[in-house]
Chain A
């Protein structure tokens, strides 16, 4: 059954796309109602991750275009700009502690989950899914 990807934007779980829109190992950019940009990723095992889309090293909104991978036990994404690697679990940069502007090189982590959509898939907007569904279910 297909899944709907939902992002918690601070107030509510909002459907952002169908899981089929995501290529395993890659991301997409999401625009929240509040105008923030979030990078949402699907890993090879089907797990979802969501981080700020802004790369603190270049200032460009490109994290969603990075390559997923791992460093040791940490699942990672590499910024496509200057290749700094971030931990998908806590958003920390594993290569440098601070960005060029002196701020900590940490991406905000957004709650994200995949919920089973009612079959057949509703269109164009998926119906609200059960909020109790745990992430990665």
Chain B
């Protein structure tokens, strides 16, 4: 326990004693070491735990195998380098402020010139009867976790008292340890501090979906203890009794201020050592930082980021580097976390405490998304709550902390489509992007602009931004890219790490060089082995230019699973099959055939939004059998799986409709058959309406046709989905031949120039010159490429073959449709179903599902289990 030699110094050396080596204690030591005046202190640390500081925020990862070394926060060699004497397992037990000494549990007396208290907090255990029985735990240290794990082995049911952040963490850990888990929360909702009522309701539902039982508005009245002295069950305030072999108390923390109290230092009414803006107690030689301190703004912070900020303030104050701007006057308590796989975030004034604050709310309990923004009187963003989708947290939090009026309508920021990848929100330079290390947008920009850091890892290293909780990394990345672009530094626009080219450039390379394989393309124009981003994109380009069946040779390896199996993968690994029904027109015999196939294979059937019939629940090995029946009856692949033409929807048209002015069904069928199988950057949808009443909703499609009394109007660039857009009118009153030629050219021009997964709508908005340019190219041949576009489409139309039929004719391809290569006849036992509303659906975890086989559910009636 001899202190290591210290760096040479001319200053008189004074003794600094730090009590506590937790996260904040360690941060204090690091912050002090960064100060030029640090050499004047000889540092001794008195620690209660047997190991150096570790990451309590990620404590739960210890259960999933993270060891002490991974959790450690003390860099190897750090203590020796700075001559710090760390005394583990020897906590301070008394302070004599008059003598300026600290006494430890082992009886040592350590003198100090300055003392820093970083004693943290202790878990609050409600004094209910039985709270100290065997099987009762808290969730604070690695030792606590070791004890929980040991007890879990002999337990079946676990109850967590407290539905806050840590309580839910603990619940997740108990669940992962195999216990049936309950959470008991006194407040009427989970995470009452961070989340509002609506968010709490949604959070509760999501967590219950994960198999954790949640009891809100329930207090713990008593723990009932068995004869062996172990906890057996828990009685709630409403009289209910829960079985409990193991109990974890997570009902909040209290500052550990006892040492300070006993030495006569002032503490707050509800605990916490009173400190000023420099984190100094009433005794000028004694400081307190972190969860044991009652900060100058009258709050006790239970989060690590404010603790870090206090540690930095105190370090500067002790080393002489303190200026007014380093004062600790309060901190951001925004949080973003993933609890049991559920994203939750809250920031700023999440509960709308400010006078006159207004809420803007979006809640979709079907998809499990809840977003609330709190808007101030003058239109500034004050705070918010996000549950289920915290994508926008990195952008909204700094905006709220900056307190500026919003430039975007707040409704837009909560709606699903409101925040694109870059987002429409501009952050001011003084917005704090990383609140763990207090880094502003301006500092990040300066690192890029003035210090030549051109990558995110470089900027992280230089500014420390993004190295704390990591929630700001996405925003950080956007700022770095924007700054690089503004400085004229080229930003990678390539498809992925394997290609520096955009999709449009790769298309040109393939077109000009005649390359026909991915290997040739990646070896000659890219690097590495490719990935799930570039491979399907290249597959699509090759399908359009090189031709051949999409599962031929090496092309088979490039396809996304849907294209690989020519069907759509569903949540349990089964597939759905959609036969083409051009224009939505189908004969009774065709309907009957589809019905018979669905019945014989026990498939779930549903009419799609595009006037077709989707058949769900097919195993890989059933696909060829289903296609055989469909193909024999005259059906073909609907390409519902591909980035390709899906449907051309139609209304009934002049044939039957009293308002129709043209044959919309006939045209829709012609267009659908012409463009079926056409591979494109994004899936394509179309529609034809027989009159301006627009029953086919043609203006919501990539290309839509509306009949007029003198011809056809062609609209392009519309879409439904999450960011709906009405199509633009490209040309009016076209005759049928001109119409089709114009669509041919529009589609080929789009396929040739669009980015990967770029819809026609965003392509139209991005492309220079917009609609007018597209019109000039496809109608006036302004680029002189129309002959080429026409030829490409002719080739597509002439070379079309039904992909299902081609597989059925090829024994080598057919062999790939087996659940198991070594047991081709064995159905996949993991794909199981349960009845619902007279059909089937995938079994959920824990449900006793049955494999779906024709034998089990064949027959005109399906046995439906009730109750």
Contact with B along A63-91 (1 / 0, CB 8 A): 00111111110011010110101000000
Tell me which of B63, B532, B559 contacts A85 (CB under 8 A): B532
Q: Are A61 and B830 neighbours in the complex by a CB distance under 8 Å?
A: yes
B210 contacts A101, C-beta separation under 8 Å: yes
Contact B529 A69 (CB under 8 A): yes
Q: Contact: A69 with B820, CB < 8 Å?
A: no
Decide if B554 touches A25 in the complex (CB within 8 Å): yes
Query: Is A135 an interface residue when CB atoms closer than 8 A count as contact?
Result: no
A133 at the interface (CB under 8 A from B): no
Contact B572 A65 (CB under 8 A): no
Report whether B175 and A101 are in contact in the complex, using a CB–CB cutoff of 8 Å. Answer: yes
Inter-chain CA distance A104–B63, complex, in Å, is 9
Q: Which chain A residues border B63 with CB–CB below 8 Å?
A: 102
- Report if A98-B64 is in contact (Cβ < 8 Å); known contacts: A31-B826, A67-B535, A80-B569: yes
Q: Please, how many angstroms separate the alpha-carbon atoms of A63 and B826 in the complex?
A: 18
Of the candidates A31, A60, A65, A103, the one whose C-beta lies within 8 Å of that of B176 is A103
The reply to whether A102 and B564 contact each other, CB–CB distance below 8 Å, is no
Chain A 1-39 near chain B by CB (<8 Å), digits 1 or 0: 000000000000000110001011110111100010100
Interface size class of B (residues with CB under 8 A): 35 or more
**Secondary structure class of chain B's binding surface, majority of residues:** loop
Complex interface: chain A residues within 8 A of B173 (CB): 102
Residues in B neighbouring A83, C-beta threshold 8 A: 532
* B815 CB to nearest chain A CB (Å): 7
In contact, B519 and A80 (Cβ under 8 angstroms) = no
A97 touches B (CB below 8 Å): yes
The one of B530, B573, B821 in contact with A28, judged by C-beta atoms closer than 8 angstroms, is B821
A54 to B532, CA, bound (A): 18
- In the complex formed, the residue of A with least CB distance to B211 is A101
Q: Which residue of A21, A54, A72 contacts B821 across the interface (Cβ within 8 Å)?
A: A21
A71 adjacent to B497 (CB under 8 Å): yes
Q: Are B816 and A23 in contact (CB-based, < 8 A)?
A: yes
Closest to B823 in A: A31
Known contacts: A44-B519, A60-B572. The answer to whether A75 contacts B529 by CB under 8 A is yes
In the complex formed, the residue of A with least CB distance to B523 is: A44
Instruction: Tell which of A66, A69, A72 has the most Cβ of chain B within 10 Å.
Output: A69
Task: Tell whether, in the assembled complex, residue A104 and residue B65 are in contact, meaning their CB atoms are under 8 Å apart.
Answer: yes
Tell me if A62 is interfacial: C-beta within 8 Å of chain B.
yes
CA distance A62 to B723 in the complex (A): 31
Asked whether, in the complex, the Cβ of B571 is within 8 Å of the Cβ of A60, the reply is yes
Give chain A nearest CB distance to B570 CB in angstroms: 9
Per the 8 Å Cβ criterion, residues 554-606 of B in contact with A are 554, 556-561, 564-565, 569, 571-573
- Cβ contact of A61, chosen from B529, B573, B816, cutoff 8 A: B573
Chain B residues near A17 (CB-CB < 8 A): 821-822
Instruction: Tell me whether A23 and B556 are in contact (CB under 8 A).
Output: yes
- On whether the beta carbons of B821 and A16 are closer than 8 Å, the reply is yes
Known: A29-B819, A69-B532, A76-B531. 17 other contacts (CB 8 A): A23-B816, A24-B557, A26-B564, A31-B820, A31-B823, A60-B572, A61-B831, A66-B561, A67-B531, A67-B536, A69-B530, A69-B535, A71-B531, A80-B569, A98-B61, A100-B341, A102-B63
A-B contact pairs, 13 of them (CB 8 A): A17-B821, A23-B557, A25-B535, A37-B820, A61-B830, A65-B565, A75-B529, A78-B532, A83-B532, A102-B63, A102-B176, A102-B340, A104-B65
